[in-house]
């Protein structure tokens, strides 16, 4: 499918989606979000793809929701359209592992979109922030919730109330970014991480992602039960037999995703 606001390709077992609206610093207008939803769904359904990388450009991952598009909306418009819901949540619903590779601005909805990924690899040029308060609103795509869970109350309040932008090293220090890499190595690092994940047993990767996510959505007791059930269930897979046999035989496993 041809996309206006995205570049979409596969690199081996990795699906790569690059936001491509450079004139507006990849501001997340509704047509872009609809395209993103479609591209993510296509990769989720593609058996050849084991992990997905979501990236932007050099200047911006995304500078937020499209302010010009939403400036005139009323409360009634937002409620009727279910604004910042349809399509926006697609990244958080992807079953396959998703890495956000962030260079430049990841502000507002851009930061929120990055946080929907399973982890963020940041270029040294990355700048993260939730500046919505500076334009009279608050984060609307999960910023108050995912940021607080990722970095704790103090930093989340600091960022959401002051709207200040943090650099890549601060983002890594506080647990928002998993790694910081030189800007020119960003895509290679993200692709290597995604390819490594895609080379694991696919069912184990899905289960691992779902289990870590459960830690943010349930009690410890429930989460531990969920983890234990998933762990036990993986002993019914061919990949568990292959992985453990390969270890004993001192060879690389040949996983089949079964």
Catalytic residues: 65, 109, 112, 132
The only residue of 41, 45, 48, 135 in contact with ligand CAA, by rule CB under 6 A: 135
Question: Contact with ligand CAA (CB under 6 A): which of 109, 144, 174, 176?
Answer: 109
> SS in 3 state form for the chain?
CCCCCEEEEEECCEEEEEECCHHHCCCECHHHHHHHHHHHHHHHHCCCCCEEEEECCCCEEECCECHHHHCCCCHHHHHHHCCCCCCCCHHHHCCCCEEEEECCEEECHHHHHHHHCCEEEEECCCEEECHHHHHCCCCCCCHHHHHHHHHCHHHHHHHHHHCCEEEHHHHHHCCCCCEEECHHHHHHHHHHHHHHHHCCCHHHHHHHHHHHHHCCCCCHHHHHHHHHHHHHHHHHCHHHHHHHHHHHCCCCCCCCCC
For ligand CAA, the binding residue among 8, 16, 25, 208 (CB under 6 A) is 25
Total residues interacting with ligand CAA, rule: CB under 6 A: 22
- Which residue in 6, 8, 17, 24 binds ligand CAA (CB under 6 A)? 24
56 binds ligand CAA (CB under 6 A): no
Nearer to ligand CAA, 115 or 205 (CB): 115
Minimal distance in Å, beta carbon 142 to ligand CAA?
8
Q: Which is nearer to ligand CAA, 112 or 172 (CB)?
A: 112
Q: Does 139 bind ligand CAA (CB under 6 A)?
A: yes
List interacting residues with ligand CAA (CB under 6 A).
24-25, 27, 63-68, 84, 105, 107-109, 112, 131-132, 135, 139-141, 143
């Amino acid at each position: 499918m041809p996309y206006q606001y995205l570049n979409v390709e596969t690199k081996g077992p990795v699906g790569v989606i690059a936001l491509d609206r450079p004139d507006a610093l990849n501001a997340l207008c509704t047509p872009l979000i609809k395209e993103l939803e479609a591209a993510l769904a296509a990769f989720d359904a593609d058996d050849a793809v084991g992990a997905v990388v979501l990236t932007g450009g050099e200047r911006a991952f995304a500078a937020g929701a499209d302010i010009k598009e939403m400036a005139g909306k009323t409360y009634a418009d937002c409620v009727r359209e279910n604004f910042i819901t349809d399509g926006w949540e697609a990244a958080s619903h992807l079953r396959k592992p998703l890495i956000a590779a962030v260079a430049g601005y990841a502000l507002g909805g851009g930061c929120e979109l990055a946080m929907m990924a399973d982890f963020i690899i940041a270029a040294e040029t990355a700048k993260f922030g939730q500046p919505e308060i500076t334009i009279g609103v608050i984060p609307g795509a999960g910023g108050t919730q995912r940021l607080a869970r990722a970095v704790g109350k103090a930093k989340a309040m600091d960022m959401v109330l002051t709207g200040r932008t943090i650099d890549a090293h601060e983002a890594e220090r506080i647990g928002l970014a998993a790694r910081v890499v030189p800007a020119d190595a960003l895509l290679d690092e993200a692709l290597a991480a995604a390819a490594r994940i895609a080379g694991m047993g696919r069912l184990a990767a899905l289960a691992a992602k779902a289990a870590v996510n459960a830690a943010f959505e349930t009690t410890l007791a429930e989460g531990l039960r969920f983890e234990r059930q998933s762990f036990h269930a993986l002993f019914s897979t061919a990949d568990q037999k292959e992985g453990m046999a390969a270890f004993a035989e001192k060879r690389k496993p040949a996983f089949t995703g079964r």
